[in-house]
Amino acid sequence: VKERGRGDFCFFSPEMNARLMERRAMEADLRLALAEGHLRLHYQPQVALPSGRVIGAEALLRWTRPGHGNVPPDRFIGVAEETGLIAPIGAWALHEACREAAGWPEHLGVAVNVSAVQFRLPGLYEAVASALKASGLQPSRLELEITEGVLLNDTDDTLAMLNRLHALGVKIAMDDFGTGYSSLGYLQKFTFDKIKIDRSFIQNLGNDANSAAIVRAVVGITRSLGVRANAEGVENAGQADMLVAEGCGEVQGYHYGRPMPPGDFARLVAG
Ligand code: C2E
Ligand code: CA
Ligand code: CA
Ligand code: CA
């Protein structure tokens, strides 16, 4: 607790201090969770349209924090990024997802999220390469999902790294497409394998003409570019029907399957 004296500045309000303490505590718990193997990945089916066949899964981090219950990744990934913990956590996720996917039927792929901070920290390339080697997974079955943030500081280094990863044989998807500042510009700079249309556009498909027009346009762009399109966050049959009508080739969302533990996904796709 800071004492107030002559000419003293009070840098931290009690609220800010509490927030800082909470982030420190979360960092310590996260470090422990990684060390003790308490982080988990759940897998959400990715489904081809119009066939409805499962063609892979997106791996999503899950953490049950002692005394706090399940903490959503949106709440702890920021802390992991600030502390650099995202590098070892991301490396763990790559190894785990590749190991898991190597046990699935061979036509199924796995997608792993790579945050912008993680992308810039050293060791990403090595983590991807060693996850592939350790698991024996065919590189083309691994897809890295990056957000526009990765390309925001559009340095030659970023593009060089994306190209190095491509040269390993892995796929690169642009996640949350349409939510950034320069989405189209990024498509010009790098040849993505897949574009994931952000959930916010899919959510309003049925009741908002603008969203439908945007989805139609994005699917058209992906077709012109020869890139696959994935519509995220499909929650009902109405949205699914519209996406089929627009010629969107791939979907993901609660309508098809929620993120699930590895055992459940393995059973779902078992021969
Ligand atoms: P994201 O990559 O955009 O992942 C999709 C999120 O949407 C997931 O939330 C998923 O559970 C949720 N979702 C899927 N289908 C539906 C639907 O039909 N309706 C709704 N309302 N939501 C749906 P989740 O698992 O909470 O993850 C949130 C974010 O955390 C992810 O967004 C991603 O940015 C990040 N994240 C998750 N796992 C990892 C990871 O291993 N590494 C990194 N760097 N980030 C991760
Ligand atoms: Ca994603
Ligand atoms: Ca997304
Ligand atoms: Ca997101």
Atom of ligand 1 nearest to the CA of 196: 3
Weakly modelled stretches of the chain, pLDDT under 70: 1-12, 154
Cβ of residue 73 lying under 6 Å from some atom of ligand 1: yes
Q: pTM higher than 0.80, yes or no?
A: yes
Q: Name every residue whose Cβ is closer than 8 Å to that of residue 154 and which is 6 or more positions away in sequence.
A: 186, 189
Length of the chain: 271
Compute the distance from residue 9 Cα to the ligand 1 centre, in Å: 41
Tell me the C-alpha distance between 34 and 29, whole Å: 9
117-174 pLDDT, tens digit each: 999 999 999 999 999 999 999 999 999 999 988 888 767 899 999 999 999 999 999 9
Q: Name every residue whose Cβ is closer than 8 Å to that of residue 44 and which is 6 or more positions away in sequence.
A: 57, 58, 60, 252, 257, 258, 259, 260
Atom of ligand 1 nearest to the CA of 112: 41
Using CA atoms, how far residue 158 sits from 116, 148, 166, 230, 239, in Å, is: 10, 12, 12, 24, 35
